[in-house]
Amino acid sequence: MAAYDDRDGKIWADGTLVDWRDAKVHVLTHALHYASSVFEGERCYNGKIFKSDEHSARLLRSGELLDMTIPYTVDEINAAKRAVLDANGWDNAYVRVVAFRGAGEDMGVSSSRNPVRMFVTAWEWGNYYGDAKTKGAKLDISKWKRPSPETIPTAAKAAGLYMICTMSKHAAEAKGCSDALFFDYRGYVAEATGANVFFVKDGEVHTPIPDAILNGLTRQTVIGMLKDMGVTVHERHIMPEEMEGFEQCWLTGSAAEVTPVGQIGDYTFEVGKLTLDVASAYEKLVRS
């Protein structure tokens, strides 16, 4: 594939569809210097974006948490996503919406006088973790910790929160891993760099409480599916040493979908029946 800035197609930029290569911002864009940016990652299946309304609403909430009012409604954001997919002729694609403080009168920490801009892009994308989708991903354990909600708005899907994700994923890939698992500031199991984590023991599911991490929309969907299947789900604080006793593990996210995990650090897991059943059920749901 060509570099992401050198492709054919259309991108929605502040209300207008522009040629892909013309979707640019100035070097003094506030978000580039101070991470005043929020985004959503979504999947379109068979022409329909899964949970489009919920993603658009979360984008607006993320903006508010960063003291950045995004000047569009949920319906207008949805229409922009639809316009991008139609303009590029895609029925199955990954959709990325990003809203950010642009260049303006302010060029310092304060940016209240700068416009809030929004771009909508999309591209055709396969499995986020490649063949790990069937074989089970291998995860490193990051040296970084997810921060306290008292230090940063952890409920926002904000660009700045992903700085340690990039560093952790680079370190993991250098070790031959697909991703990295974070602990939080208290030492509890938290999440992967862009996905929530689930564990299985004795037929029941355990997953971290999202009190210092993003409560992913895919996470919420999968919990609902499990309860409909009659599976007990424990949302709780999980200590790292508990991973030794878990039998199965998977990750969830809009990009990751439902991806089995075979190893985290020195802990190993089987790609078992419940994991495969959940992955299959999720696949059916998003394409229904």
Q: What CATH number did the domain enclosing 99 receive? A: 3.30.470.10
> Do 204 and 278 belong together in one domain?
yes
- pTM here? 0.96
* 157 is annotated as an active-site residue: yes
Which of 123, 158, 187 represents a domain boundary (last residue)?
A: 123
Rounded Cα–Cα distance for residues 157 and 288 (Å): 27
Same domain? 105 vs 187: no
Boundary residue ending a domain (90, 123, 156): 123
How far apart are the C-alpha atoms of 16 and 148, rounded to whole Å? 39
Place of tokens 């059943």: 277
Max CA separation in the chain (angstroms): 59
Residues 75 and 167 in one domain: no
From residue 61, how far is each of 31, 51, 144, 196 by CA, in Å? 18, 15, 26, 20
Q: How many residues does this entry show for the chain? A: 288
Mean pLDDT, 10 residues at a time, the chain of 288 residues: 93 98 97 97 97 98 97 98 98 97 96 97 90 87 97 96 98 97 98 98 98 97 98 98 98 96 98 97 96
Q: Are residues 250 and 267 in the same domain?
A: yes
How far apart CA 213 and CA 189 sit, in angstroms, is 10
Residue 39 sits in the same domain as residue 177: no
Question: Do both 282 and 140 map to the same domain?
Answer: yes
pLDDT at 130: 80
H-assigned helices in the chain: 30-34, 52-65, 74-88, 132-135, 163-174, 217-228, 273-286
- State the residue range of the domain holding 75: 10-123
Question: Of 93, 123, 153, which marks where a domain is finished?
Answer: 123
Residues 168 and 253 placed together within one structural domain of the fold: yes
Strand, helix or coil at 24?
Answer: coil
The answer to whether position 194 is within a domain reads: yes
Q: What is the domain count for the chain?
A: 2
259 CB burial (10 A radius; 0-12, 13-18, 19+) = buried
Q: Please tell me whether residues 137 and 119 are part of one structural domain.
A: no
Same domain, 166 and 281: yes
140, two tokens: 């490193």
Which residue among 157, 201, 273, 284 is the active-site one? 157
What is the structure's pLDDT at 128? 85
Q: Can you tell me whether residue 201 is helix, strand or coil?
A: strand
**216 and 193 part of one domain:** yes
Single-letter residue type at 25: V
CA pair distance 252, 12, nearest whole angstrom: 28
CATH number of residue 214's parent domain: 3.20.10.10
- pLDDT score of 131: 78
For residue 4, is it within any domain?
Answer: no
Residues 139, 280, 286, CA angle at the centre, nearest 5°? 100
Q: Residue 3 falls within a domain, yes or no?
A: no
- The neighbour count for residue 252, using CB atoms within 10 Å, is 26
Residues 143 and 40 in one domain: no
Asked if residue 230 is part of any domain, the answer here is yes
Measured distance CA(115)–CA(113) in Å, rounded: 7
- Does residue 243 fall inside a structural domain? yes
For residues 109 and 184, state if they share a domain: no
> Scanning the structure block, which residue is given the tokens 């490649």?
130
Cα–Cα distance between 217 and 51 in angstroms, integer? 8
What residues are paired with 83 via a beta bridge? none
